[in-house]
Structure 1
């Protein structure tokens, strides 16, 4: 399945990223399309689409492009199939663990912000006459 090529439009629809955003990620080296079609269109593989999903999931949590690049480098290294020393493997897993912990903290922070926003919206709704709230 990883050899199957996917047009940029289909990947954009699947990942809910704009073509402009995908081109930006290409320019910054985060996700380089695996090939170009005969007519010059960018084509992606399933692993390319998976990388874009990682980026799409990290951006709303406030991770920088450099942090995303670091995580992708660690996962690429682990997934490369190359022989890794035990120390190198532990270091890469430690990096991923650090990202996972940061992601969990950011999710908790967002939950707190959401709860405060819901409280604020409810307080405003209570100030309105009942017929105006509808």
Structure 2
């Protein structure tokens, strides 16, 4: 994906600021760039990557997909759908919205699985707390 031309007046930020704002490491952002998920909107005269707010929004999508176990290919596909929606005609839009719906369903299924895992983990932590409380009271 080629770099986009930043809109006039767009605020550009270097990778360190982008990383801090979005809550990712510089290394992770570079990895996502190598994987084709993000392309800096510009480069400084010195060759430094420069990012805009839309770039950060794109990184936020990737960041939210990661804990749900989406692959890089799936992330790339969703980003392509989101990009295409911006310029799609009515017929294309319907197809793209169907694909977006599939991503939504997959995300909802993965969120439910994570909730189940969290419930099991909380139950286990509660069991350990109960044992601590029980055995702690026996020694005093």
Q: Same fold (TM over 0.5)?
A: yes
Of 119, 127, 130 in structure 2, the residue corresponding to residue 126 of structure 1 is 130
Query: What secondary structure, in the 3-state scheme, does the structure 1 residue paired with 2:36 have?
Result: coil
Q: Does 1:35 align with 2:42?
A: yes
Query: What secondary structure, in the 3-state scheme, does the structure 2 residue paired with 1:109 have?
Result: helix
Which residues in structure 2 correspond to 1:55-74 (within 5 Å)? 55-74=62-81
TM-score with structure 1 setting the length: 0.89
Cα RMSD for the two superposed structures: 1.7
Rg larger in structure = 2
Aligned length: 129
The 2-side partners of 1:97 and 1:90 are apart by 10
Query: What secondary structure, in the 3-state scheme, does the structure 2 residue paired with 1:43 have?
Result: strand
Following superposition, which runs of at least 4 residues in structure 1 exceed 4 angstroms of deviation? none
List alignment gaps of at least 5 residues for structure 1.
Answer: none
Report the CA distance between 1:131 and its aligned residue: 5.4
TM-score with structure 2 setting the length: 0.86
Which residues in structure 2 correspond to 1:97-108 (within 5 Å)? 97-108=101-112
The 1-side partners of 2:137 and 2:12 are apart by 55
List alignment gaps of at least 5 residues for structure 2.
Answer: 1-5
Report the CA distance between 1:130 and its aligned residue: 3.2
